A and B are shown apart, each in its own frame.
Chain A
């Protein structure tokens, strides 16, 4: 079995490369190389697997070729603003693949009695199915194929609980004598597929970063479970790494919103409009020209981008404006809230696409202490992450969420389409503060107009 030993050793090498790859992802300087290291590990694992004796390669090669072409095209053609839904789709496919692996193994081996293999089969199928349909719903929400707001129906939790318990019960019966219960196996798979849909539809657009992280974690766990089905080390190790990474990201996202995971998953947050009475006070709007004079005189400017910038595809003009401000002598920073956008790090990717050097991207903890010295804070399509109610009003649903305290800057310009509340449905007292100026309009048009003003003056 020399062949076998070589394959196993290659798997170990692949696992080590994955670890190195992930480690190198922790610094922007080595990240790209790290990704290549990890990809090389994957290549090794695939080649090693092809060495197994007696494999009929024809269909495999056909499947791989078709998949590779599809993958490359999708990855190359997708717009940067559409990145969250792309990641969701890839993720769902991974989950589905693990499910299919477990299914085919069960189909062949048909174990007579309970054991770790059938348990692993059940776990893979359930996690894989939830990952698949959950990711597809996340995709549909992010791509706005279906409404991004939470979709609620009466007794939602009860329905989910009943389905969950049914699935669990059926799984137990299935495990008693797996071979005899093929029908039950398919039934459990079906319930899990439905559960994946039902668990994600009540979650609103701005909570998507959490959901994507969680589904990412599930796809890893599904792969690890599939590893237990076919007794393969490299699947278990890699799956566990991804599972852990997803869990950590999920925790970071929840912490950034000061909400528990249960609240995000089952809260139906943002479905109901809370806070009955709106804020009173004067809203001061200003023209593009006035905004230009403010920015022209500013020595320090902080941009706070949000999903609105992504939706308007405004990242390039924002960078242009930033450069003009810099050549005008101002210090320019971009402050990014961890949950801004639709997936973790979404804003960073967009600004990187627009050629903003990553040294200029800062986090709320870096900016808040010096906010009083900032001349102008420009909020572009962000809302809840700059809502002072999260700091000042214990009754607010946002209360306790760490925010970027732009209200403490000398002047705050908010570029926004209207006074509508943000995703959370909470009015934003920032708009009524004496030092806030509203600049109404589409982010891209408004910022382009500002850029034009600067160019005219030069």
Chain B
């Protein structure tokens, strides 16, 4: 199982390198904040930790993690959308 996961991890790293080396420099900021939002995927783990209710302590840790990860995810996507909404091409002006 673990070897399988490591294998997936390595492949995903390569995929990441491939996908991202093509991004032009003018889009570096949105790329960064957008990928930053993706790293908030840890919210999945946070939800499980918070929801299983094993102990009071882990619920506290989990809910705090959910809170922080949600800020990361929601804030990251909204800010990226806001930035990209400002990129426009020429010809628009007279």
Interface residues of A (CB under 8 A from B): 11, 18-19, 21-23, 25-29, 31-32, 34-36, 38-39, 42, 45-46, 49-50, 52, 54-57, 59-60, 62-64, 66-68, 70-72, 74-76, 78, 80, 83, 86-87, 90-91, 93-94, 96-98, 100-101, 103-105, 107-108, 116, 212-213, 216, 219-220, 222-224, 226-249, 252, 323, 336, 338, 343-346, 348-349, 352-353, 355, 357-361, 363
23 contacts between A and B (CB under 8 A): A19-B19, A22-B19, A22-B38, A26-B23, A31-B87, A35-B80, A42-B40, A42-B77, A49-B44, A52-B47, A59-B50, A59-B66, A75-B79, A94-B36, A100-B49, A101-B46, A104-B61, A107-B57, A213-B32, A228-B2, A238-B38, A252-B25, A348-B27
Please give, as numbers and ranges, the residues of chain A lying within 8 Å of B16 by CB-CB distance: 22, 240-245, 248
**Cross-chain contact of A63 among B35, B63, B79 (Cβ < 8 A):** B63
Please give, as numbers and ranges, the residues of chain B lying within 8 Å of A103 by CB-CB distance: 61
Do residues B50 and A63 form an inter-chain contact, with CB atoms below 8 A?
A: yes
Given the known inter-chain contacts A26-B22, A39-B37, A90-B76, please indicate yes or no for A345 contacting B28, CB distance below 8 A: yes
**How near does chain B come to A253, taking the closest CB pair, in angstroms?**
9
Residue-wise, chain B 49-82 has the 8 Å CB interface mask toward A (1 for contact) of 1111111011101111111111111111111111
**How near does chain B come to A390, taking the closest CB pair, in angstroms?**
19
In angstroms, Cα B40 to Cα A238, docked, is: 9
Given the known inter-chain contacts A52-B48, A60-B51, A245-B35, please indicate yes or no for A100 contacting B72, CB distance below 8 A: no
Do residues B20 and A244 form an inter-chain contact, with CB atoms below 8 A?
A: yes
**How near does chain A come to B53, taking the closest CB pair, in angstroms?**
5
Do residues B65 and A76 form an inter-chain contact, with CB atoms below 8 A?
A: no
In angstroms, Cα B26 to Cα A352, docked, is: 10
In angstroms, Cα B72 to Cα A76, docked, is: 14
Q: Please name the residue on chain B nearest to A240 by beta carbon.
A: B12
Given the known inter-chain contacts A22-B20, A64-B70, A241-B12, please indicate yes or no for A220 contacting B39, CB distance below 8 A: yes
Given the known inter-chain contacts A67-B70, A252-B25, A357-B88, please indicate yes or no for A222 contacting B47, CB distance below 8 A: no
User: Chain B at the A interface: mostly helix, strand, loop or mixed?
Assistant: helix
Residues of B1-51 contacting chain A, CB below 8 A: 1-2, 5, 8-10, 12-17, 19-51
**How near does chain A come to B64, taking the closest CB pair, in angstroms?**
6
Please give, as numbers and ranges, the residues of chain B lying within 8 Å of A244 by CB-CB distance: 12-17, 20
Do residues B32 and A212 form an inter-chain contact, with CB atoms below 8 A?
A: yes
**How near does chain B come to A17, taking the closest CB pair, in angstroms?**
10
Please give, as numbers and ranges, the residues of chain A lying within 8 Å of B42 by CB-CB distance: 94, 97-98, 101, 222-223, 226, 235, 239
Q: Please name the residue on chain A nearest to B54 by beta carbon.
A: A108
Please give, as numbers and ranges, the residues of chain A lying within 8 Å of B64 by CB-CB distance: 63, 100
**How near does chain A come to B55, taking the closest CB pair, in angstroms?**
7
**How near does chain A come to B49, taking the closest CB pair, in angstroms?**
4
In angstroms, Cα B85 to Cα A358, docked, is: 12
Interface residues of B (CB under 8 A from A): 1-2, 5, 8-10, 12-17, 19-55, 57-59, 61-93
Do residues A54 and B52 form an inter-chain contact, with CB atoms below 8 A?
A: yes
Do residues A223 and B39 form an inter-chain contact, with CB atoms below 8 A?
A: yes
**How near does chain B come to A54, taking the closest CB pair, in angstroms?**
7
In angstroms, Cα B72 to Cα A70, docked, is: 10
In angstroms, Cα B31 to Cα A348, docked, is: 12
Do residues B32 and A234 form an inter-chain contact, with CB atoms below 8 A?
A: no
Please give, as numbers and ranges, the residues of chain B lying within 8 Å of A343 by CB-CB distance: 28-29, 32
In angstroms, Cα B40 to Cα A216, docked, is: 11
In angstroms, Cα B46 to Cα A248, docked, is: 28
Q: Please name the residue on chain B nearest to A70 by beta carbon.
A: B71
In angstroms, Cα B85 to Cα A346, docked, is: 15
Do residues B26 and A101 form an inter-chain contact, with CB atoms below 8 A?
A: no
Top 6 nearest A-B pairs by Cβ distance?
A244-B16, A67-B70, A55-B51, A71-B75, A345-B28, A71-B74
Please give, as numbers and ranges, the residues of chain A lying within 8 Å of B17 by CB-CB distance: 244, 247-248
Do residues B36 and A28 form an inter-chain contact, with CB atoms below 8 A?
A: no
Instruction: Give me 19 other A-B pairs in contact (C-beta within 8 A), A222-B39, A352-B88 excluded.
Output: A25-B27, A25-B31, A35-B77, A38-B77, A60-B50, A67-B70, A74-B75, A75-B74, A91-B36, A94-B42, A101-B45, A101-B61, A104-B65, A223-B42, A240-B12, A240-B16, A245-B31, A345-B25, A345-B27
**Cross-chain contact of A75 among B26, B82, B89 (Cβ < 8 A):** B82
**How near does chain B come to A377, taking the closest CB pair, in angstroms?**
20
**How near does chain B come to A98, taking the closest CB pair, in angstroms?**
4
Given the known inter-chain contacts A25-B30, A357-B90, please indicate yes or no for A60 contacting B45, CB distance below 8 A: no
Given the known inter-chain contacts A75-B79, A93-B71, A358-B89, please indicate yes or no for A55 contacting B48, CB distance below 8 A: yes
Given the known inter-chain contacts A59-B63, A236-B9, A349-B83, please indicate yes or no for A71 contacting B32, CB distance below 8 A: no
In angstroms, Cα B30 to Cα A216, docked, is: 13
Do residues B72 and A97 form an inter-chain contact, with CB atoms below 8 A?
A: yes
In angstroms, Cα B71 to Cα A68, docked, is: 6
